[in-house]
Structure 1
């Protein structure tokens, strides 16, 4: 017998759009798009399930969404309202456990292995939480995934949306992972999916056949992540004080520009905002990334890693100028610019200098202890 965590992933259903439909009954059952003006440069922040039937999804240009569904209702985001509702939901979580790791306003991980109510069934807790959310928020629904690690809990929460629950026990996990399409693996985007398909990897069963060495050779460090999750291994704990892995600012321009001097002015302002934000959060990182989106929506990034932490806007803008020169900005018109700092260092220093945060994976077989409760 060995220790098995009981982890729940709660994911609100079409959160922003559902809040708008709740607050305006005339929008219920209608395609709702939360985002910018379709006649401007805005993008879709969220959309209702009615809108998704037209092929609309988050991060899509609002102009494109309008062409797909001209009868949709376009609504400006009300983040103050969404934050208030998010706070109500988190208060429910804390009734059961203090081990709550928010991922965004509308989703979070909960470790309920040892919970405040002494309940042995994580499934029962997930059901109670979902019922309370409906009651407290005036009808908003959430989907839940229940499993023994974060990867499986997150995948499970998306299996029975909206307003559903999926439980993956340790006994169920191998068969579940084997049949899972590779695109459903958290962390596998469109580009990675294409690369995997080219290697003959279509499902979890296919991924499981590939050796650790080959995956690392093909995908770099993240290859180890793919190897572990294909075998159901993910011992990352739920972290109540989880810190973001990057900090950045970006801006979508009101019109496409090809004047690099104008771009530098905009980037200088972003650099100051990023530097100020890092100081407020007391964060220091080594890697600086410039993001450029061209007028045709093609996005490129250019990065540089420093030997010492990035501390000032002058350091940021000096590096960004060089990174910008390594793009086609100016030759090609640009619609979006962004600056991000990542590769953060631990806040503690030792005599040898800065210590980086540990990698998320360890050998799960070396991190086990007795467990007598196998109920779900």
Structure 2
């Protein structure tokens, strides 16, 4: 049949379209149907690979197919990610390995191969770009797509195009994906989490408010642990409560975050899908009015730059696996020093710690006219900053940084400073992304 914006179903196995009310595909008998009254009119999709790292390991080693696989380990003994068999047993990302093995003692432990995973992620993104130029990567295993206007190009509704894309990725790449389809980015990303693995979920315009009403506030994009705790302390736990509140009142309470809470609680998200190449680095740097050479002078600037880079990472849902220090001497000679991190991070604390260590090796009396700090080697934010068994105080520093972020989000970036930056001269830096 000819699919229409009025609603239809599409078989996720043979890709045939049918009536909205169908329970099985009339062409192949499969019960795996994507059906929705608005299926033909929703343009924004979020594609998320299922247990990506573990899926690649199983693909490359068929003997692991039916076994619980945990990707991680290392000196800190932390789970990076795991397959769904292990998740059924209670294993989760960032869990200490000894806890994971207690829950799932038969699990196979595999060390991460980040270059391999990044390469597979690039292959998948190219398949997405074959369908639309409007692809916005979030990390190596997820991205937004805007398929507005592609129906004429492909001769089929965007939902059918997406179902075929999922099948192509599984057949050619050997990993499965889950797709969320809606009328904006916020809801598309939320939809992709509803049915995993191999999911295809839809949130239509007409059901948006009712769908969101029963969800916890933590489901809103940008609400982290610190903000969720603040809202809970104020008696707000469900999105439905936010829907009943006046936007002005939310802004008086929570500043710019209050406006975001008000609008997203109602399913209003005006962000567009921004096509861009894969980010290779995020950095910030500054040139001094007077050349500096002392640790006491350079450290406050380095800390402030680290906070800028961290803020950019958090805003773009990225985590970094490497830190680069950049220095330019008074006679314009450039020095760059790099360090690979044990775990992906989004925290200013860890970026600064790595940068300060690198800086210490360069302080030999040389005068510097410029300093910069950058991050590279991006990974999904879900893998960032797991529990550190070697550094028990890390959890407290992580919590403190989340509290600082919440205060700055409410009152502005300069509302509160750390001891490193208090009283330091302002930098003339701009975050850079290349």
Q: In the alignment, is residue 57 of structure 1 matched against residue 92 of structure 2? A: yes
> Contact conserved, 2:54 with 2:70, CA < 8 A, in 1?
yes
Gap change, CA 1:270 and 1:233, over 3 Å in 2: farther
> Contact conserved, 1:264 with 1:321, CA < 8 A, in 2?
no
For residues 228-278 of structure 1, what are the alpha-carbon distances to aligned partners after superposition, in whole Å with 9 as ceiling and x for unaligned? 11111111011112766237748459xxxxxxxxx9787331799993637
> Contact conserved, 2:154 with 2:161, CA < 8 A, in 1?
no
Q: TM-score, normalised by structure 2?
A: 0.59
Which secondary structure state, in structure 2, belongs to the residue aligned with residue 322 of structure 1?
coil
Gap change, CA 1:320 and 1:265, over 3 Å in 2: farther
The CA distance in 2 between the partners of 1:88 and 1:265, in whole Å, is: 32
What residue number does 2:374 align with? 277
**Of 131, 134, 148, which aligns to 2:167?**
131
What residue number does 1:336 align with? none
Over the aligned positions, Cα root-mean-square deviation in angstroms equals 3.7
**Of 213, 238, 258, which aligns to 2:248?**
213
Measure how far apart 1:119 and its partner are: 4.7
The CA distance in 1 between the partners of 2:234 and 2:140, in whole Å, is: 37
Q: How does 1:337-376 map to 2 (within 5 A)?
A: 344=430
Q: Which runs of 5+ in 1 are unaligned?
A: 254-262, 282-291, 306-318, 325-340, 348-376
The CA distance in 1 between the partners of 2:79 and 2:222, in whole Å, is: 21
Measure how far apart 1:41 and its partner are: 0.9
Q: In the alignment, is residue 239 of structure 1 matched against residue 336 of structure 2? A: no
Measure how far apart 1:320 and its partner are: 8.7
For residues 289-347 of structure 1, what are the alpha-carbon distances to aligned partners after superposition, in whole Å with 9 as ceiling and x for unaligned? xxx975153323379x9xxxxxxxxxxxxx998269xxxxxxxxxxxxxxxx9x95589
Measure how far apart 1:71 and its partner are: 2.2
Which secondary structure state, in structure 2, belongs to the residue aligned with residue 34 of structure 1?
strand
Structure 1 segments, 4+ long, off by >6 Å, are 263-266, 270-274
Q: Which runs of 5+ in 2 are unaligned?
A: 1-40, 283-311, 314-319, 324-339, 344-351, 363-370, 378-386, 409-416
Q: How does 1:193-342 map to 2 (within 5 A)?
A: 193-241=228-276, 245-246=312-313, 249=323, 251=341, 267-269=356-358, 275=372, 277=374, 294-296=391-393, 297-298=395-396, 299=398, 300-301=400-401, 322=420
What residue number does 1:29 align with? 66
> Contact conserved, 2:42 with 2:181, CA < 8 A, in 1?
no
The number of residue pairs the alignment matches comes to 291
Gap change, CA 1:22 and 1:345, over 3 Å in 2: closer
For residues 143-173 of structure 1, what are the alpha-carbon distances to aligned partners after superposition, in whole Å with 9 as ceiling and x for unaligned? 0000110000000000011101111121121
> Contact conserved, 1:8 with 1:122, CA < 8 A, in 2?
no
The CA distance in 2 between the partners of 1:266 and 1:7, in whole Å, is: 39
Q: How does 1:66-77 map to 2 (within 5 A)?
A: 66-77=101-112
Measure how far apart 1:43 and its partner are: 2.6
Measure how far apart 1:53 and its partner are: 2.0
> Contact conserved, 1:123 with 1:167, CA < 8 A, in 2?
no
Which secondary structure state, in structure 2, belongs to the residue aligned with residue 275 of structure 1?
strand
Q: In the alignment, is residue 109 of structure 1 matched against residue 198 of structure 2? A: no
What residue number does 1:18 align with? 55
What residue number does 1:97 align with? 132
> Contact conserved, 2:212 with 2:267, CA < 8 A, in 1?
yes
> Contact conserved, 1:5 with 1:111, CA < 8 A, in 2?
no
The CA distance in 2 between the partners of 1:265 and 1:87, in whole Å, is: 28
The CA distance in 1 between the partners of 2:55 and 2:104, in whole Å, is: 18
Q: Indicate the larger mover: 221-230 or 51-60.
A: 51-60
Which secondary structure state, in structure 2, belongs to the residue aligned with residue 170 of structure 1?
coil
For residues 45-99 of structure 1, what are the alpha-carbon distances to aligned partners after superposition, in whole Å with 9 as ceiling and x for unaligned? 2111111123322222333323333322111111222122112211210111011
